[in-house]
Amino acid sequence: MDDQRGNLMIEHNDDAFQQLQSVAKEKFVEEFGIDPFWMVSAPSRVNLIGEHIDYCDGFVLPLAINRHIVIAAAPNGTSQANMVSTLFPGEPAVVMVDEDPVMGEPRWANYIRGVLDGFRLKDLWPLPGFDAVVHSNIPLGAGLSSSAAIEVALATLVEGLLGIEINPKNKALLCQRAEQKFAGVPCGIMDQFVSVFAQPDHVVLIDCRSQQAQPIPLADTSVAVIIADTKIQHELSDGSYANRRKQTEIALMILGKDSWREVSMADLEEAKGEMSEVVFQRARHVITEIERTQKAAMAIARGKMDEVGGLMRASHLSLRDDFEVSCRELDIMVEGAWHIGEAGGVLGSRMTGAGFGGSTVTLARAEQAESVMEAMSRNYKQETGIEPHIFSTKAVGGAELSDLL
């Protein structure tokens, strides 16, 4: 069983995932009066390093975590999709599957509508009608990409409805488009790619220029991945994310390059006088973060997790100072982990995700993970008055569909 102390959780097995599926099945029977035909799951993710560079042709290094969206579903023989989400009780959604999907209410279903529209654009339309219950244990607003998980889960369900499997890369890109067009978030490819391509006990090195995903084994099994949700939520459609992306585009235009992969620090220093200080800082983060992520991937492959920890620290400082997407609560959580130090079991820590709140990711020695989490929680609550949600996770596999009948 999972060991829980307050808002600390150490995952020992897959009981939490089995429970998640059981609740979805029970809710489906309650809502629709029959057993579900399919069970779909898609994981959320945490990014070890490589932040705000997935839309800059960079590299990112995420892993899928044991927090999932699950969908229990069955065909209904109609021309509509009837959907209920346990995350948004009282907000059922009905979407016609023989008409062009358009944005609407409830807002949570826009991710669904965007995915369905992607299949329409692939001429896989109209779709068979279906009933579905969406359930999740992904903390909302924690920067762990619940949105990508629901997109990938729904796309995987549609594959089951149609009896097909589309190319994994194309499925991830379809889901990315759904978020961009129907949720208004100009995201890169990382979140959807890792939810599709993840493998157990691996990180995924994603080349965002070539759109290739390479699983890398976590060679050092003595290291735990700790995720700390600060309970400070963010809204990526409020313009902060889009503003940072626009600033990187301005910098690249001034530099006169086709891709950030062609830009060196020397190039940036030479062009410094042509850009504002803020745009220069954004560019410096992109260039240095691309380099850090490549170094981290090589270090993980060699089992040199202490090297990864140092790169994570540098990444957080760059995100805090150059990209300005951290916040007081994230800094407190990260600095609390740094204070514990290697002697206390911490190898590295940084904010993760788009920022402006959300979560941190910490690498720690597995035998000291519990004490690390307790110390992080105690310090954070003392400094902020907020009880965080902190858990240790393993790297899990990507989206799956199971026939239940």
Mean pLDDT over 209-237 rounds to: 88
**pLDDT at residue number 50:** 97
pLDDT given for residue 9 in this prediction: 53
CA–CA separation, 93 and 97 (whole Å): 12
Question: Quick one: pLDDT at residue 221?
Answer: 84
Mean pLDDT, residues 47-70 taken together: 95
Distance of CA 381 to the CA centre of its chain: 25
Backbone φ and ψ of 337, nearest 5° = -65, -40
C-alpha 358, offset from chain centre: 11
pLDDT reported for residue 333: 98
pLDDT band of 106, cuts 50, 70, 90 = very high
At 14 the pLDDT is 62
Q: What is the pLDDT of residue 239?
A: 75
pLDDT on residue 144: 81
Instruction: Give percent of the chain with pLDDT exceeding 90.
Output: 86
Weakest-pLDDT range from 221-235, 293-307, 326-340, 366-380? 221-235
For the stretch 349-369, pLDDT in tens is 999 988 889 999 999 999 999
Confidence of residue 140 (pLDDT cuts 50, 70, 90): confident
Instruction: Give the pLDDT confidence score for residue 145 in this predicted structure.
Output: 85
What domains sit in the chain, N to C, each tagged with a CATH number?
3-217+398-403 (3.30.230.10), 223-393 (3.30.70.890)
pLDDT score recorded for residue 8: 61
pLDDT at 122 over 70: yes
pLDDT at position 6 is: 47
And the tokens for 91?
């907000």
Average pLDDT of every residue of the chain: 93
Least confident range of 10-14, 340-344, 363-367, 374-378:
10-14
pLDDT, one tens digit per residue, over 261-315 is: 999 999 999 999 999 999 999 999 999 999 999 999 999 999 999 999 999 999 9
Q: Using pLDDT thresholds of 50, 70 and 90, give the confidence band for residue 214.
A: very high
What is the arithmetic mean of pLDDT over 120-133? 97
Does 4 score more than 60 pLDDT? no
Whether the per-residue pLDDT at 195 is higher than 60: the answer is: yes
Active site residues: 191
Given a cut of 50, is residue 27 above it in pLDDT?
A: yes
Which residue, 42, 239, 57, is CA-closest to 147?
42
